[in-house]
């Protein structure tokens, strides 16, 4: 089996990352890994060595349709006319009682014409048995995060979401600046606080279910990704 061709800039970044890891310069190593992934490649470490492989699987077509290897390849429908008043997306996190509680609350409170979508990525047996509708077998990916409300036009302008985010922490900062950004030289959009919403906060599973060291590692990776995009955009931090 022939090896895939690796572009020279990607190979150079991989060697630089290996040297940074050897020198225990973790921030530099994480930044270089993000650059490699942004170019469409994955670094697989093997002790002091490494190998490079394509980050995204290819798009596949079969009788069920097209299975896209990455989000950017999915045809966007954001510019088509709206068919629903709003869409609420929930992540099934292998806590069936939590999901049932959220669905019941939304069923009682959301306006007519609101669409509810549950996304599950390889749920456990208990969760799968209680999903209201199961997606067909196949690869899927979802990003967990806090409660976000994003306008359709803003999502179209800012998206698709950077797939380098694999954890929720610092993603709210990224979204805040993405949604404020109207381009350099343009005044940023203003944010508004909406008080008095009928919300009740329960245990944060995305925090309590992840070991502390892993939370810190993933949080730092997200923050470096955030800094790479916004470190020079101080105008967006102006209230």
Q: What is the pLDDT of residues 98-118, one digit of tens each?
A: 888 888 898 888 888 888 888
pLDDT tens, 195-228? Answer: 777 877 788 777 888 888 888 888 888 888 778 7
Q: Which residue has the tokens 């510019």?
A: 79
DSSP-derived pairing of the beta strands 49-54 and 41-46: antiparallel
Domain count along the chain: 3
Instruction: Establish if 32 belongs to a structural domain.
Output: yes
**Per-residue pLDDT at 146 exceeds 60:** no
pLDDT of residue 17: 92
Structural domain contains residue 160: no
The residue segments making up the domain with residue 179 are 167-239
DSSP H helices, the chain, are: 8-22, 26-38, 96-109, 125-129, 152-158, 171-180, 205-208, 212-230
Q: Does the predicted TM-score (pTM) go above 0.85?
A: no
Query: For position 14, what pLDDT does the model report?
Result: 92
Which of 81-90, 147-156, 167-176 has the lowest average pLDDT? 147-156
Which among 47, 27, 35, 30 is positioned nearest to 10, based on CA atoms? 35
């Amino acid at each position: 089996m022939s090896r895939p061709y690796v572009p020279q800039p990607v190979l150079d970044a991989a060697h630089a990352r290996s040297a940074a890891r050897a020198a225990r310069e973790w921030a530099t190593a994480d930044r270089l890994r993000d650059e490699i992934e942004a170019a469409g490649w994955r670094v697989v470490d093997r002790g002091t060595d490494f190998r490079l492989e394509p980050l995204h699987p290819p798009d596949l077509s079969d009788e069920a349709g097209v299975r896209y290897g990455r989000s950017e390849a999915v045809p966007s429908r954001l510019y088509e006319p709206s068919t629903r008043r709003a869409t609420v997306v929930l992540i099934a996190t292998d806590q069936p009682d939590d999901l049932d509680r959220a669905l019941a609350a939304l069923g009682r409170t959301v306006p007519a014409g609101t669409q509810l979508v549950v996304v599950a990525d390889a749920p456990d047996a208990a969760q799968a048995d209680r999903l209201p509708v199961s997606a067909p077998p196949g690869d899927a990916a979802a990003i967990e995060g806090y409660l976000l409300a994003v306008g359709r036009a803003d999502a179209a302008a800012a998206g698709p979401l950077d797939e380098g985010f694999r954890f929720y922490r610092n993603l709210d900062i990224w979204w805040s600046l993405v949604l404020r950004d109207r381009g350099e030289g343009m005044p940023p959009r203003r944010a508004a606080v909406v008080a008095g919403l009928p919300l009740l906060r329960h245990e944060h599973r995305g925090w309590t279910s992840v070991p502390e060291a892993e939370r810190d590692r993933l949080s730092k990776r997200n923050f470096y990704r955030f800094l790479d995009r916004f470190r020079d955009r101080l105008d967006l931090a102006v209230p």
